[in-house]
A and B are shown apart, each in its own frame.
Chain A
Amino acid sequence: SQQGEEDPQALSIQEGENATMNCSYKTSINNLQWYRQNSGRGLVHLILIRSNEREKHSGRLRVTLDTSKKSSSLLITASRAADTASYFCATASSNSGYSTLTFGKGTMLLVSP
């Protein structure tokens, strides 16, 4: 079963606006990661937040993590057309001593010029 679930499934905004995507999960985690996938390509890692962190920034990206609510959000500020992609959250949990990632179904972001 999927650990992470993104919301919304699709988001359409204009260039310059901010985009916020949310992720909810069900069980305890070691860390939560966000990935980006352009159409027809592999996933690219964006940012990782550990379970003991509440907020993290990377360029125009801001990620928050609320372990009490089992949720995370990804904020992209001042969006650009090039940000058009699918965004996935992935939760890391230990299985037999090895941590594997469980991905959500993703949010499709469309940024119009």
Chain B
Amino acid sequence: DAGITQSPRHKVTETGTPVTLRCHQTENHRYMYWYRQDPGHGLRLIHYSYGVKDTDKGEVSDGYSVSRSKTEDFLLTLESATSSQTSVYFCAISESTGAGYEQYFGPGTRLTVT
């Protein structure tokens, strides 16, 4: 998976608790992304980062925050988890954006909010 790890890989948590998912890369790529994947919706972009401390919102950012204090780490936080945030979360990286760059995906984190 192109030097991308996600932790934890599986998590079960209760409604209202905070949850932080970690994405770690060893590729020194500038761009990092968090997606969620749900049946019937495909992948949807939550937040992305275009550099250390530089982040922006994606299509489904409500209820999520992110932080990137180092090039290699991108954290996704659910401040107060809800059942609607039960999903599989994927981190991705890319060397650049624009016309010619693909994204490389991590193995995913399966989150269940009960």
Q: Which residues of A contact B (CB under 8 A)?
A: 1-2, 30-31, 33, 35, 40-45, 48, 50-51, 88, 92, 95-96, 98-106
Contacts and interface: CB of A to CB of B under 8 A. Distances in A.
Interface centre among B35, B92, B102 (most CB of A within 10 A): B102
A30 B98 contact: yes
Interface residues of B, number: 30
Nearest to B1: A42
Contacts of A33: 102
Nearest to B90: A42
Contacts of A50: 99-100
A54 B93 CA distance: 27
Contacts, number: 67
Contacts of B1: 42
Contacts of A103: 35, 42-44
A103 B40 CA distance: 12
Contact of B107 (A2, A42, A106): A42
B56 interface: yes
A86 to B, nearest CB: 9
Contacts of B33: 100-101
A42 B93 CA distance: 12
B26 interface: no
Interface of B: 1, 4, 31, 33, 35, 40-45, 48, 50, 56, 58-59, 90, 92, 97-108
A95 B99 CA distance: 13
A35 to B, nearest CB: 8
B100 A102 contact: no
Nearest to A47: B102
Nearest to B43: A103
Contact of A42 (B44, B97, B105): B105
A1 B59 CA distance: 8
B7 to A, nearest CB: 14
Contacts of A41: 107-108
Contacts of A98: 31, 48, 50, 56, 97
A105 B41 contact: yes
